[in-house]
Structures are given as C-alpha cells and as structure tokens.
C-alpha cells in the first residue's frame, strides 16, 4: 500500500490499437478523480512503447527506456501489438514477438514478479456460464511473472531441416516460488479480513475455510517443478493456518473454472499456467471488456509497477470508438489502490459497477461509457 500523501508520478502509455482510445478515457477519469478527491497525482503521456514509435525509430521504445521508466511510481499501459494488415494492407505491422516484447521487458527488467488478476462477475456484465451461481465468482489469480516457462532460453537446432529440434527450457527457482506463494497466502489473508464475512456464510455451508489458496501445477507430467511448487506450498502454508489449501492440476482447474468457478478464492500459478487461467477467468467473469491486471513487486517500490488491462490492442475494432474502457478503468482503480488512494479506487470500482447495471443492453461508444461512469462518480 502506497502513502496517500506522497506525490506520485505516472507514465501513461497508450500503446497500440484500442490502447489509445481506452487510455484517453482513463486520463479523463484520472483528471476527474484528482480534482474531486484532491489526489497528489501527476502524469505524463508517452508515445512509446508502440508500433508507431517503431515505425519512426525502428524500435518499440527508446534505448534508455528501462532507465526512463524508473523515474515514475507507476506505469499505466493501454495495449500493445498490431498484427495487421486485416482490412488495411498499408498498415505498418510487426510480429507479436517484437511488438509485445516491451511487456515482458518491463515485467522482467523491473522485477515485477507478481501479476494479479482479480475476477468477479459484476451484475450487468456479459454472462457466458449458464449456472446462476456464476454470480458468486470472486477469485484472485496470482501469476508468477518473472521466470518459469517464460525465460525464453531455447532455440532451434538444424532449423528448416527434417531433423530440426526446437528446445525451450523452463527454469523455476525456490526463491521465485517462495515469494510468489507467500504473496498468494498474504493476499488470501487480506481478502479474509476485507470481505471474509461474505464468504464465511457460503464456505461454512460447504465446510470450507473462508479463505483458500489453490495451487496449480502439472506435477503428474512435469514433476521437477511440480514437486518444488508442492513442497514450498506446504511449507509456506504453515505460516497461514487460517487459510484453506487446495491443489489442482492445470487441466482439471480449467474444467472446474467452467463447472464451479465460485468455489475458488485465491489461485496461484506459474507464468504459463497463470496466463491461461487468467484469460479463462476473465472470460467467465464478463470478458476482456472488464478484466483488470497489474504487475507488481510486492517487496519493493524501487521500480514502478505496471498496470495494464488483460485485453490486447484489438486491431479489428481499433479507432472506431467500440472498445470498452471499463477494463482500463478497473485497472486504473488497481493503480490508485497501489498508490494509496483506496477510497478513490473503491469509488471508481463502484461507479463502473453501477454504470454496468444502469446501461445493461445499451450499445455505447467508448467515451459514452466513460461519461456514464463519471456521472456515477459525480453523484
């Protein structure tokens, strides 16, 4: 939790595609909240990382970008990537490997080793599951963000030949595993304090602990790190006797996310498993139009945290005012909490929720959605 009275400086990075549109809305809301709540915030809008910057400079961001970003307290990113050409054959386009690289550079380079993606199904949100109990979905997926399947150590031997072999190494450290799992238990403890009562009723009916951490592995097929995760999980769990324990294999977890997502509380997963499970959880709780995300280092504020909606740059609808800014605004709320402005964040979240209900069934432009949300903030 940041200090509420400290002046904070934010970098707004619109990025590509609908990132530009949703960032414009986030800036409106930030300005409104800063003025209304007298928040000690200032920000700068950066034109990188972006495909446009690449077009001009041959790279996604300046050479000293990693140094430059360290002067900020938080980075708010719209979306990256422009796979083109879709309808526009002249569009300057880059392979994902280049356009999305800044994301991974920030996560790894700034040691933002935890990614948090809450999933709650708000009233009025799109519903993909038939079961009415889906209304009770309220989970927090915590994803490892710095190692594991994403170390990108590998390559291609005999590239293009019939006997080619491609390898990719997965590397998991006990240090990385332990801090991740401890963070998940702390998050569960915090959730128990903050809204344990709401869950208690539900859980006591089911004979469960009111707070729970579910560990994800694929230890039956990938034992080396599956066992490391399992052992560290058991060790760290001893520090949190009030928290219930659960383990799911990643494949079974995907099924249970569909079958009974309301039974999950905090879920902790590796980089790749977390990537998959957070996208799935986002869809089950209303889709990408509503899914916020942050990349943080829970131990240190030396480097800025990175806030980005789970959605991508959606080139197919970019520039048409069709993007839903809600995910970006819920992401902005996560950032406000991080910077110590929980009350403003809570109001913003409530306004997004109220607007969802009030506008159900309406087709609105990106800025109309924001206008509706600001109305609720004003009220």
**Whole-number minimum distance, CB 253 to ligand IPM, in Å?**
12
User: Which range of residues in 4-12, 224-232, 301-309, 366-374 is near a copy of itself by CB under 8 A?
Assistant: 224-232
Contact status: 167 vs a copy of itself (CB under 8 A): yes
8: closest CA among 302, 340, 343, 297? 340
**Least distance to ligand IPM from the beta carbon of 271, Å?**
7
Q: Does residue 255 bind a copy of itself (CB under 8 A)?
A: yes
Strand order in the sheet with 212-217: 41-45, 8-15, 74-79, 305-307, 294-296, 114-120, 138-144, 266-269, 212-217, 244-249
DSSP states along 314-329: -TTTTTTT---THHHH
Contact region with a copy of itself (CB under 8 A), list: 97-105, 115-123, 185-193, 236-244: 97-105
Helices 342-358 and 326-338: crossing angle, nearest 10°?
160
By CB under 8 A, residue 206 contacts a copy of itself: no
114 vs 179: CA distance, rounded Å: 9
Which of 12, 100, 284, 334 binds ligand IPM (CB under 6 A)? It is 100
Question: Which of a copy of itself, ligand IPM, none interacts with 307 (beta carbon under 5 to 8 A by kind)?
Answer: none
Task: Give the number of residues in contact with a copy of itself, rule: CB under 8 A.
Answer: 62
For ligand IPM, which stretch binds (CB under 6 A), given 7-15, 16-24, 99-107, 298-306? 99-107
Segment near ligand IPM (CB under 6 A), from 12-20, 98-106, 189-197, 343-351? 98-106
| Cβ–Cβ < 8 Å for 215, 188 | no
- Contact with ligand IPM (CB under 6 A): which of 33, 103, 114, 277? 103
**Minimum CB–partner distance for residue 208 and a copy of itself (Å):** 15
Check binding of 157 to ligand IPM (CB under 6 A): no
Pairing of strands 114-120, 294-296: antiparallel
Q: Say which residue the tokens 């809600």 belong to.
A: 326
User: Which of 221, 255, 343, 358 is the binder for ligand IPM (CB under 6 A)?
Assistant: 221
What distance in Å separates the CA atoms of residue 56 and residue 260, rounded to the nearest whole number? 49
Which listed residue (16, 27, 116, 149) binds a copy of itself by CB under 8 A?
Answer: 149
Residues 215, 252 contacting (CB under 8 angstroms)? no
Which residue from 117, 199, 218, 246 is in contact with a copy of itself, where contact means CB under 8 A? 218
Q: 293: buried, middle or exposed (CB in 10 Å: 19+, 13-18, 0-12)?
A: buried
- The distance in angstroms from the start CA to the end CA of the chain is 27
Closest CA to 123 of 364, 290, 371, 333: 290
Residue whose structure tokens are 């039956």: 220
Pick the binder of a copy of itself from 3, 47, 88, 164 (CB under 8 A). Answer: 164
Closest CA to 140 of 282, 21, 28, 37: 282
- Work out what residue 127 binds among ligand IPM, a copy of itself, none; the CB cut-off runs from 5 to 8 Å by kind: a copy of itself
Query: Encoding tokens for residue 192?
Result: 């128990």
Which of 1, 165, 198, 343: binder of a copy of itself (CB under 8 A)? 165
In the range 232-291, which residues lie near ligand IPM by CB under 6 A?
251, 275
- Which residues of this protein are in contact with ligand IPM, per CB under 6 A? 100, 103-104, 220-221, 251, 275
- Which residues of this protein are in contact with a copy of itself, per CB under 8 A? 96-97, 100, 104, 127-131, 149-150, 152, 154-156, 158, 160-175, 218-225, 227-228, 231, 250-252, 254-255, 258-259, 271-272, 275-276, 278-280, 282-284, 287-288
């Amino acid at each position: 939790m940041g200090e509420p009275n400290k002046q904070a400086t934010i970098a707004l990075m619109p990025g590509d595609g609908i990132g530009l549109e949703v960032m414009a809305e986030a800036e409106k809301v930030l300005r409104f909240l800063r003025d209304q709540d007298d928040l000690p915030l200032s920000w700068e809008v950066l034109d990188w990382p972006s495909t446009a910057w690449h077009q001009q400079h041959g790279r996604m961001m300046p050479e000293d970008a990693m140094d430059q970003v360290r002067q900020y307290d938080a980075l708010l990113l719209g979306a990256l990537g422009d796979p083109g050409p879709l309808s526009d054959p002249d569009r300057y386009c880059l392979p994902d490997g280049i356009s999305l690289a800044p994301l991974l550079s920030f996560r790894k380079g700034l040691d933002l080793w935890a990614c948090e993606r809450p999933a709650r199904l708000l009233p009025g949100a799109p519903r993909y599951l038939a079961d009415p109990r889906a209304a009770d979905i309220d989970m927090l997926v915590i994803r490892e963000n710095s190692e594991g399947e994403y170390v990108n150590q590998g390559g291609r031997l005999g590239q293009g030949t019939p006997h080619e072999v491609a390898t990719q190494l997965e590397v998991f450290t006990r240090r990385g595993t332990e801090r991740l799992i401890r963070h998940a238990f702390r998050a569960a403890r915090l959730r128990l304090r903050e809204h344990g009562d709401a869950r208690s009723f539900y859980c006591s009916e089911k004979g469960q602990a009111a707070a729970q951490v579910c560990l994800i592995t694929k230890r039956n097929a990938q034992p080396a790190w599956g066992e490391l995760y399992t052992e560290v999980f058991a060790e760290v769990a001893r520090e949190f006797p009030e928290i219930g324990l659960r383990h799911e294999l990643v494949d079974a977890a995907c099924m249970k996310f569909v079958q009974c997502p309301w039974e999950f509380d905090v879920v902790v997963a590796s980089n790749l498993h977390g990537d998959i499970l957070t996208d799935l959880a986002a869809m089950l709780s209303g889709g990408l139009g509503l899914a916020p995300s942050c990349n943080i280092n829970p131990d240190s504020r030396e480097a800025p945290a990175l806030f980005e909606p789970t959605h991508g740059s959606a080139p197919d609808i970019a520039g048409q005012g069709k993007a839903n800014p809600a995910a970006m605004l819920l992401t902005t709320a996560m950032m406000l909490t991080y910077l110590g402005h929980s009350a403003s964040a809570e109001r913003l979240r409530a306004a997004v929720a109220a607007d969802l209900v009030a506008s159900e069934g309406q087709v609105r432009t990106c800025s109309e959605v924001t206008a509706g949300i600001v109305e609720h903030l004003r009220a």
